[in-house]
């Protein structure tokens, strides 16, 4: 692959606008740019989780399932940056669903609400889950203004589910207890 960027700064965004892949210029707070930013933030948080998983052999399979998600998020960001471009396909949604099903079978039914915590890795998986939901909301906001085609929003939805189940699998494989929600007692 040749050089994609020969210059990191261009000064073309100094006035509060940025360019899309189709040549259109939009404000930096345009819903499309907001959606791209949320997907990028999710990708960064996922990168941190993957780095945390890399040093624990018992979690290698979790990393192997989640690592392709970073690439697919980058693909989806490309779709958002180039309106009309398609880089994410149904097979990726199916791959995520298969991983959810496989891990859920290992975990069994959830009998209580759980809170983010138990370990740094579990908490980071929940941060990723929350960020996936934020990205999905921003994409839905964009979709109301400029309809999105393809499977990107479905992918984000399933990815947030995968990250929830991943947090539970990480806890199990680390041997840490999940933090169960304790309902407040009534007034004292």
**Per-residue pLDDT tens over the stretch 87-102:** 999 999 999 999 999 9
pTM recorded for the entire structure: 0.91
Q: Does residue 153 fall inside a structural domain?
A: yes
Nearest to 159 by CA among 60, 52, 51, 39: 39
pLDDT in tens, 3-51: 565 666 667 666 788 888 888 998 899 999 999 999 999 999 999 999 9
Domain for residue 21, yes or no?
no
The answer as to whether 97 is a domain residue is yes
The pLDDT of residue 160 is above 80: yes
Q: Is residue 13 part of a domain?
A: no
Distance CA 136, CA 82 (A): 18
Domain assignment of residue 40, yes or no: yes
- Mean predicted lDDT score pLDDT of the chain: 92
- Residue pLDDT, tens place only, 71-125: 999 999 999 999 989 999 999 999 999 999 999 999 988 889 999 999 999 999 9
- Any domain includes 6: no
Does residue 2 form part of some domain? no
| CATH code, domain with 137 | 1.20.1200.10
What percent of the chain stands above pLDDT 90?
Answer: 79
- Number of domains into which the chain is organized: 1
Q: Give the range of the structural domain holding residue 63, as residue numbers without chain letter.
A: 26-179
């Amino acid at each position: 692959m040749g050089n994609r960027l020969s210059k990191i700064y261009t000064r073309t965004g100094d006035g509060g606008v940025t360019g899309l892949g189709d040549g259109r210029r939009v404000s930096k707070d345009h819903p499309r740019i907001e959606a791209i930013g949320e997907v990028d933030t999710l990708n960064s948080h996922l990168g941190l989780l993957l780095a945390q998983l890399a040093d624990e052999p018992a979690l290698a399979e979790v990393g192997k399932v989640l690592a392709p998600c970073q690439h697919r998020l980058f693909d989806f960001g490309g779709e958002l940056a180039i309106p009309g471009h398609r880089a994410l396909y149904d097979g990726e949604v199916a791959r995520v669903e298969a991983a959810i099903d496989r891990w859920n079978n290992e975990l069994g039914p959830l009998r209580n609400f759980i809170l983010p915590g138990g370990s740094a890795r579990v908490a980071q998986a929940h941060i990723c889950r929350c960020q996936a939901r934020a990205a999905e909301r921003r994409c839905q906001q964009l979709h109301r203004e400029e309809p999105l085609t393809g499977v990107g929003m479905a992918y984000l939805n399933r990815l947030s589910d995968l990250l929830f189940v991943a947090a539970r699998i990480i806890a199990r494989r680390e041997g840490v207890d999940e933090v169960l929600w304790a309902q407040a007692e009534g007034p004292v």
